[in-house]
Structure 1
Amino acid sequence: MDAESIANWMLSQIERDGCIYQDDVVDYLVKAKEESFLRENSDGNLVVGRKVLDAFRKLTESTVVWVKPDFYWRFRVAEDEPGREARG
């Protein structure tokens, strides 16, 4: 497994379900014994690592946004402001 294949899996989940939560990506990587693609944030929680985020951004730069308050990614809609982050 590499960062690009994880990014592609994440996109496939968004295509199937409409969104993907960071916790679901973390669970997927832990179950696959691929913790090297995770990192610990300042609160001590496991989160998606930089290599995966970079690959996912490259794959979805203009089509997917991050909803920070709820920790998930979804497809961009017309109401979203420019940039990578959405309000919810």
Structure 2
Amino acid sequence: MHHSWIEACVEAMKGRQVFLASQNPLLLDFLEFSSIEQVQRTFVRCQVDRSGDAEQILWGNFSDEAAARFFESYQVGIQHVNEILRTEGLW
């Protein structure tokens, strides 16, 4: 998708609750954050918990620590959102 289309779509979603799933990092790079709490509210992470022979899918927001690390890196402004997520092991 062209950058201007992504920007227009993200702008149209502001103020609404939306669910986005993407393997394309460009979409994530257009997200903006103003606080650690906003980071926690924005991302829902899916993980697989393996206990013995059983597997369970767990959904949840970032921990306080993960959200703080993400936001600190985001504020520096050097890395794109997708790069921060990958560097922190969150994507």
TM-score for both structures, normalised by structure 2: 0.33
**Which structure exhibits the higher relative contact order, with contacts defined as CA atoms closer than 8 Å and separated by 6 or more residues?**
1
Which structure has the greater CA radius of gyration? 2
Q: What TM-score results when the alignment is normalised by the length of structure 1?
A: 0.34
Richer in strand (by share): 1
